Structure 1
Amino acid sequence: MLSVLSNRTYRNLFAAQVVALVGTGLATVALGLLAWDLAGGDAGRVLGTALAIKMVAYVTLSPVAQAFADRVPRRTLLVTLNVIRAAVAAALPFVTEVWQIYGLIFLLQAASAGFTPAFQATIPDVLPDEEDYTKALSLSRLAYDLESLLSPMLAAALLTVVSFPLLFGGTVIGFVASALLVLSVTLPWPKPDTRHDVWARVTRGTRIYLATPRLRALLALSFSVAAVGAMVIVNTVVLVRQDLDLTDEALALTLAAFGAGSMVAALGLPRLLAKRNDRRVMLIGAAGMTLALAAMGATGGLYGLQWSWLLAAWFLVGIGYSATTTPSGRLLRRSGHAEDRPALFAVQFSLSHACFLITYPLAGWLQAAHGSVTAMLILAVLSAMGLVAGMLLWPRHDAVEIAHSHHGLPPDHPHIVGGGRHSHTYVIDDLHQRWP
């Protein structure tokens, strides 16, 4: 897997991702302490609102940002957005009112809504070979998992020698370092789209996405991921601290079990995807995490919640979660031309976060109103619904090259010269607006 780091451009981009993630992790801890400092007992409400603002920014702004992104060289865009994020992080220690947190969080996440999809869409252009790109996806998944495990520990270590506002300084350093690493390489810049107006560019990614069967299936599986992930992210603290009456250390270990499962899957995926197609791997991953959550809910209802079972269930959920989400970049890569990939990545970024925008509050409400066991079972049912939809929407034989005809083109059109029926890699574009 590490052989892909021999590519200097990708190596620097991966390093840029890692340092930005570390900075973001420090900011997450510091933001919680800042909310407590300003709002006391209402800190949870403040953080919940900030999370909702983050999701709204991701869902609404990402496709719009990508519609204009091709007007700017990609390296310039990524560096500028990192500088904006650094400036916002630098301002956070100086806030004195809760509304100021909300405004700055919106600016920070608006910049991230432009940065993340553009960054993700750059990687397949830098690594055109599918095997190399698969390794890059697994490395990216590992980076996210390690960040979730290591950033809190790094923040805890720093807090022994500095006060929490200085953690935002680490965030600034992370974003600035990320900008410098991006600046150190030359990035491909797909030709700007001059054929379509602004509205067409804003909606183009969504139209391509929803017209492609494998991507409609990806949306269904993203809902499964959001249903199971919301249970882990929102309710693990309640499961461990309230239902099981365990310590903070137990909470950390429980979350680590989920992260460990995700990392195990990420390490094995490049080899697995070389032998099995994406459809099988992603559907099995979604089925595995759904069954693990359902089994945890069923055994908890019958025999009471047990920590050892929860650790095992969260480890299996982590494996399924990673197996379902990590290959998604491969589907996006093969479903559009290079100039359309940023729009496709932006739509996936937006729609997947829209799923979490539904399941985050639902998971919290179900647990508070009906208890953890009921929440697990209902969310497992919702995940199963997404899984079934994904199976039905994704053709079993998902060929890359498809034989087709064009009935609306003149006989002398360059695309069909030499024969009306022909075969090539099929993606939705101006000449192919419907799936055959």
Structure 2
Amino acid sequence: MLSPLANLTYRHLFAAQVLSLLGTGLATVALGLLAFDLAGADAGAVLGTALAIKMIAYVGIAPVAGAFVHLVPRRSLLVALDLLRAAVALALPFVTEIWQVYVLIFVLQTGSAAFTPTFQATIPDILPEEAEYTKALSLSRLAYDLEALASPAIAAALLGLVGFHWLFAGNALGFVASAALVLTVVLPSPKPPATQEGAWGRITRGARIYLATPRLRGLLALNVTVAMAGAMVIVNTVVIVRVGFGLGAAELGWTLAAYGAGSMVAALAVPRLLDGVMTDRTAMMAGAGLLVAGLLLGLLVPSWSMLLPLWMLLGFGNGLVLTPSGRLLRRSAHAGDRPALFAAQFALSHACWLIAYPVAGRFGAMAGMPATFLILVVLGAMGLVAAILLWPRDDAAEVEHIHDRLPPGHAHLGDVSPDPTGAVRHSHAFVIDDLHQRWPR
């Protein structure tokens, strides 16, 4: 499980990720307190708008960044984005108007929308062996889950000693430390895209590859299921625990911890499951099935003691779907197209969350928790059924296909001879590119 950390470059990048995540977690707590300081009882509306701005930045900026990251050395880009985010974090304590919060959040999340897909697309180049890359994906998932557990506790401890504005300084320190760690390693040079296209073609290339690849169309449908279950947890846990069961902040913390623990167990289990026990498709479909089943069981939960294992089940399903997703992206594009493809996944998955958050929040406020569980079950089940239909069970790496437009002797065809119709049939690891613009039937 820990063997990828033997690679010096990956070890430093993983440490940079952990420090950056911890800083972001501190800022999440501080942002809530800042919103209350500026808006009082309307703090929820301010945070809701800030969350919407975050998602809009992710959906709109990530594809643009993914199209042009190859023009800048990766290390320089990642360091510059870390320093940009650090500067924004340091500016947040000094805002006096709500609109200033919105502007700074947009700049901060624009930096994240460029940083995260670039970081994710770098890891397959550092760890080319699939087994090691799978373990790295599990470590990354663990980092996210540990941040969700550790950051609130660290923030609570710090708030007993200093004002909440200093939490933004902790966020900035995390970004600066991340930049310093990135500077200590040499990253692979970004490979140019596999084609020369105009600006719009580059911006949309990742999404075109994504939507033309059956396994990735299935992944998009699974993202819908993940978003519906995750939004229920993130948006409505506080309502269920505090209002539904009449419990306090400690029980709320334990409930969210149960969800994180379930996801961590999945992250630890995925490398073993994918080592000859399950295929990516089987594991991810099973995870989505657990999410749908968990939402359905939410209609029947009578007490907090039953909510804890249910939230752990949802966390496990979440981890089982999300942890292997990088493997699908890695095998679905040439190295030069990976940044654009990871950016497309980043944008499209967050578009699902942009829909799921208001659905969970609005239905929860207007119709109550049973109706909210029910609507999210329906939407999550639709995502699972779509994934089963869109992602073929026989998802072989090498696909036999026909070229009927390439001239004889083309370098891609090698010494394969055409059949009597003039078409050339051959087989290789298939990805969408300029020579293969449609998936074979």
Q: TM-score, normalising length from structure 2?
A: 0.97
Q: Which residue of 1 aligns with 2:125?
A: 125
Question: Displacement, 1:270?
Answer: 0.5
Q: Which residue of 2 aligns with 1:154?
A: 154
**AA of the residue aligned to 2:433:** D
Q: State the distance in 2 between where 1:273 and 1:333 align.
A: 15
Matches within 5 A, 1:101-112: 101-112=101-112
**AA of the residue aligned to 1:80:** A
Q: State the distance in 2 between where 1:87 and 1:170 align.
A: 12
Q: Which residue of 1 aligns with 2:273?
A: 272
Question: Displacement, 1:363?
Answer: 0.4
Structure 1, 108-117 or 189-198: larger mean CA deviation: 189-198
1:291 corresponds, among 293, 313, 317, to 293
Q: Which residue of 2 aligns with 1:392?
A: 389
Contact 1:411 1:417 in 2 (8 A): no
Question: Displacement, 1:385?
Answer: 0.6
1:435 corresponds, among 426, 429, 439, to 439
* Ranges in structure 2 where 5+ consecutive residues have no aligned partner: 417-423
Provide the secondary structure at the position in 2 that maps to 1:405. Answer: strand
Which whole-Å deviations, capped at 9, do the CAs of 1:313-362 have from their partners, x for residues lacking one?
A: 10101100100111100000000000101111000000000000001001
Q: State the distance in 2 between where 1:400 and 1:190 align.
A: 24
Contact 1:296 1:309 in 2 (8 A): no
Q: State the distance in 1 between where 2:281 and 2:167 align.
A: 42
Q: State the distance in 1 between where 2:3 and 2:262 align.
A: 23
Structure 1, 73-82 or 417-426: larger mean CA deviation: 417-426
CA RMSD of aligned residues (A): 0.8
Question: Displacement, 1:190?
Answer: 2.8
1:352 corresponds, among 338, 349, 354, to 349
Q: State the distance in 2 between where 1:31 and 1:273 align.
A: 39
Number of matched pairs:
431
Question: Displacement, 1:375?
Answer: 0.5
Matches within 5 A, 1:110-259: 110-193=110-193, 195-259=196-260
Q: State the distance in 2 between where 1:108 and 1:53 align.
A: 10
Q: Which residue of 2 aligns with 1:62?
A: 62
**AA of the residue aligned to 2:107:** L
Q: Which residue of 1 aligns with 2:18?
A: 18
Contact 2:409 2:415 in 1 (8 A): no
Question: Displacement, 1:412?
Answer: 1.9
Contact 2:398 2:430 in 1 (8 A): yes
Which whole-Å deviations, capped at 9, do the CAs of 1:8-55 have from their partners, x for residues lacking one?
A: 000000000000000000000111111111111011010000000000
Q: Which residue of 2 aligns with 1:48?
A: 48
Q: State the distance in 2 between where 1:208 and 1:389 align.
A: 19
Which whole-Å deviations, capped at 9, do the CAs of 1:175-230 have from their partners, x for residues lacking one?
A: 00000111110111233237111111101101100000000000000000001100
Q: Which residue of 2 aligns with 1:379?
A: 376
Q: Which residue of 2 aligns with 1:88?
A: 88
**AA of the residue aligned to 1:435:** W
Which whole-Å deviations, capped at 9, do the CAs of 1:217-244 have from their partners, x for residues lacking one?
A: 0000000000110000000000000111
Contact 1:83 1:175 in 2 (8 A): yes
Q: State the distance in 2 between where 1:21 and 1:249 align.
A: 23
Structure 1 ranges of 4+ moved more than 6 A: none
Q: Which residue of 1 aligns with 2:337?
A: 340
Q: State the distance in 1 between where 2:328 and 2:168 align.
A: 36
Which whole-Å deviations, capped at 9, do the CAs of 1:42-96 have from their partners, x for residues lacking one?
A: 1101000000000000001100011111100111111110010000001001001
Q: Which residue of 1 aligns with 2:323?
A: 326
**AA of the residue aligned to 2:150:** L
